[in-house]
């Protein structure tokens, strides 16, 4: 059984007084999923290091400024075009080195997992960042259910590629379908989740409906959207961005302020959104999750294996 990750960050920690009024309006009518913690005093903490105070971005920021190249490369293309994607019915093919391969409907997958909230930083390789309150479950729970066989060392993921619903597929920006991968221990890490919601609502299409990966210590492109296939494999899988530009986008893609992108520095990031936190500040090693994940990479050269 996977180790359960207990989030140290709650709404009590993150909600500064000047923001909670605004947030309360957004939350109105959402069924109180977030509970009374919303009104907790977090102002003192939020006035400290803004990298540590996880103030979730507003709904409109999270769902209006996206990368989902299947719908176009502009930041507002996904919000405009992703409604064309049919997400019901949805199933994921799980194959490779597993005891129970097959096509699993989304309902079946969700019937056996526990949905919880995870407030995570999201750091894009392009240098912008957000904080997103996801709802999801640990990928390890799904992998344990299907039974990972000995010999499996990596997990490969694929996004839906349906040209009639995804205008971006007409442009060969990358070699479609969008593909990503993790080492098995990364995939089994309790911070790695499959997200199905944001702010307690179903995840919008532009954010990767109905189910996407979230790996918070890696650059955002590892967090592949609208997943239709998961394969347990022996060899390191091919990934979309690594194939496109191996020198720029490595397989690991751990957030690392000391490893510059060949065309820009990764030392700083710009938090999307208004208010106090919309300024540049230093990027944290492993995006702030060093304590939780550094041991996965002990002895590895994190510049060479970027």
**Residues 104, 178, 286, 289: which binds ligand MTE (CB under 6 A)?**
178
| Cα four-point dihedral sign 211, 240, 51, 76 | negative
**Residues 34, 119, 124, 146: which binds ligand MTE (CB under 6 A)?**
124
C-beta of 96 vs 216, nearer to ligand MTE:
216
Burial of 300 (0-12, 13-18, 19+ CB in 10 A): exposed
Question: Smallest distance, Å, CB 124 to ligand MTE?
Answer: 4
- Paired tokens of 211: 């189910």
Per the CB < 8 A criterion, the answer to whether 125 and 253 are in contact is: yes
Question: Smallest distance, Å, CB 208 to ligand MTE?
Answer: 6
**Residues 58, 70, 77, 117: which binds ligand MTE (CB under 6 A)?**
70
Q: 224 — alpha (psi -120 to 50), left (phi > 0) or beta?
A: beta
- Give the dihedral of Cα atoms 120, 121, 124, 129; nearest 10 deg: 130
Mask 134-163, x = binds ligand MTE (CB under 6 A)? Answer: -------------------------x----
Residue 166 binds ligand MTE, judged by CB under 6 A? no
In angstroms, the CA 70 to CA 176 distance is 9
- Paired tokens of 246: 């191996």
User: Which one of 14-22, 61-69, 90-98, 258-266 is the stretch in contact with ligand MTE (CB under 6 A)?
Assistant: 61-69
How many CB atoms neighbour CB 229 within 10 A? 18
C-beta of 42 vs 250, nearer to ligand MTE:
250
SS3 11: helix
What part of residues 260-299 is at the interface with ligand MTE (CB under 6 A)?
none
Burial readout 3-33 (b: 16 or more C-beta within 10 A, e: otherwise):
eebeeebbbebbbbeebbeebeeebeeeeee
| Cα four-point dihedral sign 145, 149, 150, 153 | negative
Mask 40-59, x = binds ligand MTE (CB under 6 A)? Answer: --------------------
What part of residues 75-114 is at the interface with ligand MTE (CB under 6 A)?
none
Mask 186-225, x = binds ligand MTE (CB under 6 A)? Answer: ---------------------xx-----------xx-xxx
C-beta of 57 vs 148, nearer to ligand MTE:
57
Question: Smallest distance, Å, CB 36 to ligand MTE?
Answer: 28
DSSP 157: E
Residue of 76, 67, 34 whose CA lies nearest to 201: 34
What part of residues 220-249 is at the interface with ligand MTE (CB under 6 A)?
220-221, 223-226
In angstroms, the CA 242 to CA 238 distance is 7
Size of the site for ligand MTE (CB under 6 A): 17
Residue 68 binds ligand MTE, judged by CB under 6 A? yes
**Residues 122, 140, 142, 155: which binds ligand MTE (CB under 6 A)?**
122
Nearest residue to the partner ligand MTE, using Cβ: 220
SS3 291: helix
C-beta of 148 vs 187, nearer to ligand MTE:
187
Binding interface with ligand MTE (CB under 6 A): 66-70, 122, 124, 159, 178, 207-208, 220-221, 223-226
């Amino acid at each position: 059984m996977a180790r359960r990750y207990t989030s140290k960050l709650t709404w009590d920690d993150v909600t500064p007084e000047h923001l909670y009024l605004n947030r309360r309006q957004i939350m109105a009518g959402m069924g109180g999923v977030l509970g009374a913690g919303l009104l907790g005093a977090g102002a003192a903490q939020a006035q400290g290091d803004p990298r540590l105070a996880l103030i979730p971005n507003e709904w409109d920021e999270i769902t209006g400024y996206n990368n989902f190249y299947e719908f176009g490369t502009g930041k507002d293309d996904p919000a405009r075009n992703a409604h064309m994607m049919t997400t019901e019915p949805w199933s994921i093919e799980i194959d490779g080195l597993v005891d129970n391969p097959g096509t699993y409907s989304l309902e079946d997958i969700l019937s056996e997992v526990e949905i919880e909230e995870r407030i995570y930083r999201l750091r894009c390789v392009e240098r912008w960042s957000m904080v997103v309150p996801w709802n999801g479950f640990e990928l390890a729970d799904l992998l344990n259910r299907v039974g990972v066989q000995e010999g499996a060392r990596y997990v490969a993921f694929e996004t839906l590629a349906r040209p009639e619903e995804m205008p971006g597929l007409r442009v060969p920006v990358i070699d479609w379908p969008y593909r990503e991968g993790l080492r098995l221990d990364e995939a089994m890490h309790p911070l790695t989740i499959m997200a199905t919601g944001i702010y307690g609502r179903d995840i919008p299409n532009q954010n990767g409906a109905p189910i996407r990966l979230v790996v918070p210590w890696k650059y955002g492109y590892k967090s592949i959207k609208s997943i239709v296939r998961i394969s347990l494999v022996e060899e390191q899988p091919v990934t979309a961005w690594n194939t496109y530009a191996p020198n720029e986008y490595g397989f690991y893609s751990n957030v690392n302020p000391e490893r510059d992108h060949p065309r820009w520095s990764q030392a700083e990031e710009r938090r999307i959104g208004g208010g106090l936190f919309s300024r540049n500040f230093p990027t944290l090693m492993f995006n702030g999750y060093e304590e939780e994940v550094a041991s996965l990479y002990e002895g590895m050269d994190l510049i060479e294996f970027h």
